[in-house]
Structure 1
Amino acid sequence: MPGCLAADSLVKRSDFHYELPSELIASEPLAERSASRLLVLPPPPAGPQDRMIRDLPGMLEPGDLLVLNDTRVIPARLYGQKSTGGRVEIMIERIVGQHEAVAQLGVSKPPKPGGKIQLDAGGEMEVIERDGGFYRLRLLAAEGFEHLLSRAGHLPLPHYMGREARADDAERYQTVFARHAGAVAAPTAGLHFDTPLLDALRERGVQMGHVTLHVGAGTFSPVRADDVREHRMHSEWLNVGAELVEQVRRARGAGRRVVAVGTTVVRALETASQGGELRPFAGDTQIFIFPGYRIRSVDALLTNFHLPESTLLMLVSAFAGRDRVLEAYRHAVAERYRFFSYGDAMFLHPGEAGGA
């Protein structure tokens, strides 16, 4: 049954730690999307293999189904200051009405409900309430949030890149197949695909399908609990349509593989499979996948390298096995792979059941 946990699940946050030299964090994209390296983790007991993302068509078979996340990143970062003068960085998580939104705030002292934030771009926000690390904000202006972000929002590059977004990031921090606006972080596995690579995959006979999962700011939230079972997962909106469900049915019926491009695709498909069978689904998910959870919706996973002790690394470990994944990460460090959003990729086959 999807979602069940083994009694001996790995549940300590420290079980997912690894050492990463800071110079391996990719703060700039490569000149070509499909020039990235690809670390392949075959079925056990084989070890890691060094390839290139351009090798992917030869690694897939005609009829295999590649599932992509077609969300589009919005300029979700704003700046302002509290009435006391303290600076505030605002990361919009989700617009919930013309004048209301849920956001994370980067601020030295958290504002209380009723507190005001003066925006650098003009206008004012009021804090309605706080729920954990998220704030509900009301925009006290005639314009709505969508217009404000299109006028004054900044592309929200992850902080670990160590720089502000530039004009060229507006194109490179989007996938070439992005269609539905709503994400505040890119589904980074998809950043490796350009038109020539997609054409090569189609010529190979690889089928392609899409889900939409709007990646939220909570994807960067650290796991603070030592026992990961106590971690509260952020909520994200997704849509798995009937067309994609039918594509999966045909691929599986023909004995072909379903290959997820990114952890967001896995989260979407696993959410839509919670009844035991993949069905169309549109709505929110807080699914948290870590070792002990058996992923059944996909047969292979293309993903980037993820932060130590992150929920994304835990998901990958559930799919391919923690020990195998961390061994592959050590190999990637030794071979000087590029890490995180603008970095290189991995192509993983499943490990033992439950990701032990």
Structure 2
Amino acid sequence: MTERHIDINEFDYDLPEARIAKFPLPERSASKLLVYRGGEIGQAHFADIADILPAGQLLVFNNTKVIRARIIMHKPSGARIEVFCLEPHAPADYERAFAVTGGCEWSCIVGNRKKWKEGYVEINFELGGRREYLRAWLAENHGREHVVRFEWSAAVTFGQLLEHLGKIPIPPYLNRESEEIDYTRYQTVYSKFEGSVAAPTAGLHFTPELIEGMKARGFEFGEVTLHVGAGTFLPVKDEDAARHPMHTEHFEVRRATVAALLEKWGEVTAVGTTSVRTLESLTALAWRIRTAGTPDEGRVVGQWELYAVPAEFSGRDALETLLRYMERKGLERLKAATQIMITPLGYEFRIVRNIITNFHQPKSTLLLLVSAFVGDDWHRIYDYALAHGFRFLSYGDSSVLMR
């Protein structure tokens, strides 16, 4: 493998605390919109996005839904323990994990772990006029993460239990507890499938009225599902970002979406970096089909796998290959997982033409992705945003990047 080096200090900038949006605006689409088109930078309002994007674009949403993943529990001694559910372990499938009753296991981050060495933690609650309990035991230790076994008395699913007991996991950089507004506003209006512990925040600016208005003007919409993990907030700690281990995120794409992408190839706008990561990962699955006859869905798309795909294998080739495979096998959807790391080190975008995205943290893998798309112009874009009063991060303003 080619040796890679990325000096993460080259992707740093000064982000004052006051520029981090701690709460959403009263109206979703009232945010500002930085417009980057072929090197030129300007600004508008997000509500005007239909006037800015090229006509007839296919916008691709990530329809994942944020779960109430934080559960505050206590030891019998009274010690407070926070259990942050990351992804299902047994059963490992998201749909089954949320539908199970009685017991399950999840990979979790445990707060105040030093106080929980053995035994169980619990939370007692009332449901339907009955006293119920949820208990948890440490099953396995995987360093930063732990496998936690849950058991509960109520005749409800684990998904219903989280809805009743859990808290929405707003980003740590907001430096506050979740509030009532977060239960609706830290969720896109098109969210459908539970599984994320962080919102695909570029989509928070869309309203049903804005989407319907864009449809009336000829824009098309497609959906993918990528469940956003807590690793999206992990800082790059190594001076060489190429040594940063990317987290795994599970995704799903339907055959109808692949067909729409092929029909609109060259006119695809990804709404958010999670949509970018999903769409670009499709090329890796298609290349596996081309070279080995199978997408091998059980094998995660590796951090650098896409860099080994020949440049002559275009996005159109990838989508045609994937669509033919799904038609031949009678598959309505593909499920896979990705660790893709998109960096300025020669990454070639094959499917995504434009990106709608918020402003990201300094020294983050998401900023590397933006740099891969616009090159060194990311400095000019972020300087402009800072100089013109844009709000940053999850609840902040938006940008549309058009090359």
TM-score by length of 2: 0.78
1:67, CA displacement in angstroms?
A: 0.6
Q: Cα gap change, 1:82/1:194 in structure 2, threshold over 3 Å: closer, same or farther?
A: same
* Among candidates 343, 346, 349, match of residue 402 of structure 2: 349
1:147 shift after superposition: 3.6
Query: Displacement, 1:339?
Result: 0.7
Distance 1:311 1:110 in 2: 33
Contact (CA 8 Å) 1:238, 1:282: kept in 2 or not? yes
CA distance in structure 2 between the aligned counterparts of 1:297 and 1:337, rounded to whole angstroms: 29
* 2:111 is the counterpart of 1:106: yes
Query: Structure 1 residue 165: deviation in Å?
Result: 2.0
Contact 1:38 1:345 in 2 (8 A): yes
Work out whether 1:298 is the aligned partner of 2:352.
yes
Query: What are the equivalent positions in structure 2 for 1:247-326 lying under 5 Å apart?
Result: 247-252=260-265, 256-274=266-284, 275=287, 276=313, 277-278=318-319, 279=322, 281-292=334-345, 293-321=347-375, 323-326=376-379
> Does 2:134 align with 1:123?
yes
Question: Which consecutive residues of structure 2, in runs of 5 or more, have no partner in the other structure?
Answer: 92-99, 126-132, 288-312, 323-332
Is the Cα contact below 8 Å between 1:187 and 1:215 reproduced in 2? yes
CA distance in 2, matches of 1:107, 1:267: 33
Q: Hey, what does 1:62 align to over in structure 2? A: 55
SS at match of 2:340: coil
Residue 75 of structure 1: aligned partner: 68
**Comparing 126-135 with 213-222, which one deviates more in the overlay?**
126-135
RMSD: 2.2
Query: Closer, same or farther in 2 for the Cα pair 1:57/1:84, shift >3 Å?
Result: same
Deviation, structure 1 residue 299: 0.5
What is the one-letter code of the residue matched to 1:53?
F
- Secondary structure of 1:273's counterpart equals helix
Counterpart residue number, 1:27: 22
Which whole-Å CA distance do the structure 1 matches of 2:124 and 2:342 have between them? 39
Deviation of the 1:22 alpha carbon: 0.5
CA positional deviation for 1:120: 6.9
Q: Deviations over 1:300-326 (max 9, x none)?
A: 1000111111111111111111x2112
Tell me the distance in 2 between the aligned counterparts of 1:104 and 1:238: 21
Maintained 8 Å contact 2:64/2:227: yes
Conserved 8 A contact 1:10-1:291: no
Q: Which amino acid aligns with 1:202?
A: K
Q: Distance in 1 between matches of 2:401 and 2:78?
A: 49
Does structure 1 residue 328 correspond to structure 2 residue 381?
yes
What's the secondary structure of 1:269's corresponding residue?
helix
Once the two structures are TM-superposed, the CA of residue 118 in structure 1 deviates from its matched residue by 3.8
For residues 234 and 290 of structure 1, the distance between their equivalents in structure 2, rounded to whole angstroms, comes to 15
CA contact (8 A) 1:61 1:205 kept: no
Q: CA deviation at 1:258?
A: 0.5
**Greater RCO structure (CA 8 Å; 6+ sep):** 1
**Secondary structure in 2 matching 1:287:** coil
- Matching residue's letter, 1:35: A
Change (3 A) 1:110 1:67: farther
Q: Normalised by the size of structure 1, how large is the TM-score?
A: 0.88
> Greater CA radius of gyration, 1 or 2?
2
Q: Is the 8 A contact 2:60 2:222 kept in 1?
A: yes
Pick closer, same or farther for the CA change 1:111–1:234 going to 2, 3 Å. Answer: farther
Structure 2 SS opposite 1:176: coil
| Aligned equivalents of 1:239, 1:193: Cα separation in 2 | 22
Question: As a proportion of its length, which structure holds more helix?
Answer: 2
Name the % identity. Answer: 40
Aligned to 1:136: 147
In structure 1, the partner of 2:129 is none
**Residue identity opposite 2:350 in structure 1:** R
The one-letter code matched in structure 1 to 2:145 is F
Per-residue CA deviations over 1:223-262 (Å, capped at 9, x if unaligned) read 222211221111111111111111111112xxx5100000
Q: Deviations over 1:144-189 (max 9, x none)?
A: 6324312200111112222222223221111111111111111100
Whole-angstrom distance in 1 between the partners of 2:53 and 2:350: 19
Is the Cα–Cα contact under 8 Å of residues 79 and 115 in structure 2 kept in the other structure? no
Q: For 1:317 and 1:83, how far apart are their aligned partners in 2? A: 50
**CA–CA separation in structure 2 for the residues paired with 1:81 and 1:230:** 38
The equivalences for 1:189-200 within 5 A come to 189-200=202-213
Map 1:10-49 onto structure 2 (within 5 A).
11-44=6-39, 46=40, 48-49=41-42
1:91 maps to amino acid: F
SS in 2 for 1:313: helix
Count of paired positions: 338
Deviations 1:329-353 (A, max 9, x none): 1221121111111110111124xxx
CA distance in 2, matches of 1:138, 1:62: 51
Task: Please give the alpha-carbon distance, in whole angstroms, between the structure 1 residues aligned to 2:6 and 2:76.
Answer: 42
Q: Following TM superposition, by how much is the alpha carbon of 1:90 offset from its aligned partner in structure 2, in angstroms?
A: 2.0
Which amino acid in the other structure matches residue 341 of structure 1?
A: S
Return 5+ residue gaps in structure 1 as ranges: 351-356
| Distance of 2:115 and 2:218 partners within structure 1 | 53
Change (3 A) 1:309 1:149: same
